[in-house]
Structure 1
């Protein structure tokens, strides 16, 4: 499995909200489907990206490392889409 922008967006949402439930709501999906997606991502990488507990989800050291690279990519993709839409509207 290759990581896609949607996967990176999901990981950022989980980190930002600290909750699978809140992240799923923010992304417009159900919590079980986000949990499944996170498990698939973690399985494909061979390590946990978030520690889960009663107080929510916190990035592991690997999760922090991945997020530090994912955030700029997600922001760049959002900017690319915005610029492409503006150019198409002209």
Structure 2
């Protein structure tokens, strides 16, 4: 298994929310699916990334190391996508305005 961007996003969401349940909701996946994904990432990296307790999830030392590298990558990828989308449309936004008419309600 190779780490993918979705894995990095999941790790950041777990750390940011402090909970597998809240992170799963934020990511739009089921909690069991996110738990399975986390276990696979931990197996790939060779250690636990979070301490799981009733009060939530806290990063382990290994988790803090991985998160310190994952966060800038996720942020840069988000910026790349935003810039690429803007460039794809020529850097222009289409804005449509109107006055009240029968063709456009409200």
TM-score by length of 1: 0.98
**Displaced runs of 4+ in structure 1, greater than 2 A?**
none
- Cα offset, 1:64, TM superposition: 0.3
* Greater relative CO (CA pairs within 8 A, separation 6+): 1
- Cα offset, 1:40, TM superposition: 0.4
Provide the C-alpha distance between the structure 2 equivalents of 1:37 and 1:57, rounded to a whole number of angstroms. Answer: 15
Establish whether residue 40 from structure 1 lines up as the match of residue 40 from structure 2.
Answer: yes
Aligned residues: 90
Provide the C-alpha distance between the structure 2 equivalents of 1:88 and 1:14, rounded to a whole number of angstroms. Answer: 32
Provide the C-alpha distance between the structure 1 equivalents of 2:89 and 2:40, rounded to a whole number of angstroms. Answer: 38
SS across alignment from 2:34: helix
Establish whether residue 72 from structure 1 lines up as the match of residue 48 from structure 2.
Answer: no
Match of 1:11 in 2: 11
Match of 2:94 in 1: none
Q: Identify unmatched segments of 5+ residues in structure 2.
A: 91-106
TM-score by length of 2: 0.84
What is the RMSD of the two structures over their aligned residues, measured on CA atoms? Answer: 0.5
- The structure whose residues are more often helix, as a share, is 1
Provide the C-alpha distance between the structure 1 equivalents of 2:41 and 2:85, rounded to a whole number of angstroms. Answer: 30
Establish whether residue 82 from structure 1 lines up as the match of residue 82 from structure 2.
Answer: yes
- Cα offset, 1:89, TM superposition: 1.2
Structure (1 or 2) with the larger CA radius of gyration: 2
SS across alignment from 1:74: helix
